[in-house]
Chains A and B, each alone.
Chain A
Amino acid sequence: MARMKFLCDAERCIECNGCVTACKNENEVPWGVNRRRVVTLNDGVVGAEKSISVACMHCSDAPCMAVCPVDCFYRTDDGVVLHDKDLCIGCGYCFYACPFGAPQFPQAGAFGLRGKMDKCTFCAGGPEPDRSEVEFKKYGRNRLSEGKLPACAEMCSTKALLGGDGDVIADIYRERVLRRGRGSEVWGWSTAYGLPPKPGAQPPVQQQQPAPTSGKS
């Protein structure tokens, strides 16, 4: 089974927000909820400005999943971290736990009451039947079930944002790094994927995924 991953190549991202807009449009995400954001560091500083596009990283050992008091998260066969909005109590604990600020909360009602958590689904919907209307309403489009890749990565004009089978993405990125002779350090490759790639190195060995369970990890 493919292990789905995102990678945003900071050497390529031009902060166009095309990915953000594609996500909003594909999944009809309400105003104020941002499944994906583009972060720019050192804005305007020549040579030091870098942008990366961030969403849920679909962590292997997901902190959100670990802390959720109602255990609403689950991992799909593709390694995508999803959650069940019917179980979610909107407590916001996952937001504190997530290193990427991925979980989002709509402002529902008075007193700043939190609605159900919403986050990037890797365009893979939720626990409802694939491509059903109720799934779309709650979680957005289920592109993976249609054999498509995430809308954000597909939209990216510079192909900075890559989304899909982690092995394939690692190959593409490795080739880029070799070609330009640098780059992996910018993104923190070693943190995300182990040691930086060396010429002739084999793709990183895949971690054994826990057997898929229905709804729980």
Chain B
Amino acid sequence: MTASNRSLQWREKVIDPLFESRTDQMIMYELAQKLGFADQFLGKKDGKQNLRLVKVKGRDEPSMEDTLRNEVNKGCWTIGYTGQSPERLQAHMRNQHVFDVKTLRARGGKDAKTGYDLTGDYYGLPWPCYGSAAIKHPGSPNLYDTSKHPMDGGMTFRALFGVEKDGVNLLAEDGIANKGSDITTGYPQFDHVLLKKLGWWDELTDEEKKEAEGKTWANDLSGGIQRVAMKHGCCPFGNAKARAVVWNFPDPIPQHREPLYSPRPDLVEKYPTHDDVKVFWRLPTLFKSVQQKAVKDEMHKKYPLILTSGRIVEYEGGGEETRSNPWLAELQQDCYAEINPKTAADRSIRNGEYVWLSTPTGAKLKVKAKVTEGIGPDTIFVPFHFSGWWQGEDMLPFYPDGSAPIVRGEAVNTATTYGYDRVTMMQESKTTLCQVAKA
């Protein structure tokens, strides 16, 4: 289990699965057996086997220790899940008392069961924890912390985008490196060539050399390149600048662009959206032509208010499940629109009355007015957890018997307009236009 501070915890099984249920790893192994690749699943090769089988409820399942050590640790050289072996994590669980609650670090202590020396480890070996378990990287309590040696949990920014772009150096500048680093300026990712150039190659053992020849820090399965780089105070993945210019995004530096349906034509002129794209993930996608049509059709006059949607604390997601729970459903029995007192007064809308909310899609939603200072006079907020009403009508008769949530209401996303963010592919549900009127 990984906690939100990236510390890992080894958890022991509490009970065997009840009745006919099985563990996940048992199901996976048995499925692999049925599909005829059980040997590959267990990593059987040359008389060796990655995953030993253990008996649970009289059936075989792959050992979890082996799964972490021989699958996860071995397969994660580039992402820093290599040092967190089951043995180290289990020793942490047995000796929680030796870790400092503020720094997370063990000031000393030996595991009574295995003799493992805990000194210097951060609790749970917070990700990333580089190198093989044997070199005892302590884990990384804070990311990108150059004030520490890499073997004390220090880190640089990865040199992930090359070393220069348009003649500008992308690596860290002189003087920026980890504490104790033998290289005191930026450097690229480590590979066999760099190691040889630096004259550090011979610090690899003969075994490691065999494996590391022709390899980089990322695919040298001996872990030698990582070990030697970190010994010299260097991060195997290089030392670069944080990248603020993302040249492979449509806007290399984020810049304001008005939404497709904007309340301000003057701002559309100044901050237009992207041009239409002919092939965008295989689909022709409209941006600018939709925005300009909205301006031409004067949508901002017909729909002068900004419509935004979001969460409320009572419900979750689309709300089907939470609106079916009587304790929660009672707390919020209607879909509603938050309306500023001025906006409401201008339209003779009173708190708690039904209003019609309409948007440029032609949708009309019937929701309760919640008149509150909590929203500005130019904006309307509608929670997105409701469904079951369609343009003012409760769809209750269409639910199969007994399946209707206790509380139903208009789904705001039936009224939000076309458009989405080019980079994240996130639909535009937070900025569109609407009008509200007394129902």
Contact across chains for B330 and A24 when beta carbons are under 8 A apart:
yes
A186 to B314, CA, bound (A): 26
B162 within 8 A of A: no
A70 within 8 A of B: no
A49 to B315, CA, bound (A): 22
B contact residues around A42 at 8 Å (CB):
373
Scan residues 367-416 of chain B and give those whose CB is less than 8 A from a CB of chain A: 372-375
Per-residue CB proximity of A24-40 to B under 8 Å, as 1/0?
Answer: 11000001100000000
A181 vs chain B, min Cβ distance (A): 26
Contacts A43-B374, A44-B375 known; A16 to B313 CB distance under 8 Å?
yes
A contact residues around B314 at 8 Å (CB):
17
Please indicate which of the listed interface residues B314, B326, B327, B375 has the most CB atoms of chain A within 10 Å of its own CB.
B327
A21 within 8 A of B: yes
B193 within 8 A of A: no
B336 vs chain A, min Cβ distance (A): 13
Q: Which residue of A lies closest to B329 (CB)?
A: A31
Contact across chains for A20 and B313 when beta carbons are under 8 A apart:
no
A45 within 8 A of B: yes
Residues of A within 8 A of B (CB): 15-17, 20-21, 24-25, 31-32, 42-45, 49
Given A17-B313, A44-B374, 19 further pairs, Cβ under 8 A: A15-B313, A16-B313, A17-B314, A17-B331, A20-B331, A21-B327, A21-B328, A21-B331, A24-B327, A24-B330, A25-B327, A31-B326, A31-B330, A32-B330, A43-B372, A43-B373, A44-B373, A44-B375, A49-B374
Residues of B within 8 A of A (CB): 313-314, 326-328, 330-331, 372-375
A contact residues around B330 at 8 Å (CB):
24, 31-32
A17 to B373, CA, bound (A): 20
A45 to B372, CA, bound (A): 8
B contact residues around A24 at 8 Å (CB):
326-327, 330
B contact residues around A17 at 8 Å (CB):
313-314, 331
Question: Would you list the 10 A-B pairs with minimal beta carbon distance, nearest first?
Answer: A44-B374, A44-B373, A24-B327, A44-B372, A45-B373, A21-B327, A43-B372, A16-B313, A25-B327, A17-B331
Q: Which residue of B lies closest to A22 (CB)?
A: B327
B contact residues around A21 at 8 Å (CB):
327-328, 331
A contact residues around B374 at 8 Å (CB):
43-44, 49
**7 A–B contacts from the bound complex (CB under 8 Å):** A24-B326, A31-B330, A32-B330, A43-B372, A44-B374, A45-B373, A49-B374
Q: Which residue of A lies closest to B331 (CB)?
A: A17
A67 vs chain B, min Cβ distance (A): 29
B contact residues around A25 at 8 Å (CB):
327
B36 vs chain A, min Cβ distance (A): 49
A42 to B373, CA, bound (A): 8
A143 to B405, CA, bound (A): 31
A contact residues around B313 at 8 Å (CB):
15-17
A contact residues around B328 at 8 Å (CB):
21
A43 to B327, CA, bound (A): 23
B257 vs chain A, min Cβ distance (A): 29
A contact residues around B373 at 8 Å (CB):
42-45
A44 to B342, CA, bound (A): 14
A207 vs chain B, min Cβ distance (A): 36
Q: Which residue of B lies closest to A23 (CB)?
A: B327
B contact residues around A15 at 8 Å (CB):
313
A26 to B214, CA, bound (A): 65
A44 to B373, CA, bound (A): 5
B contact residues around A16 at 8 Å (CB):
313
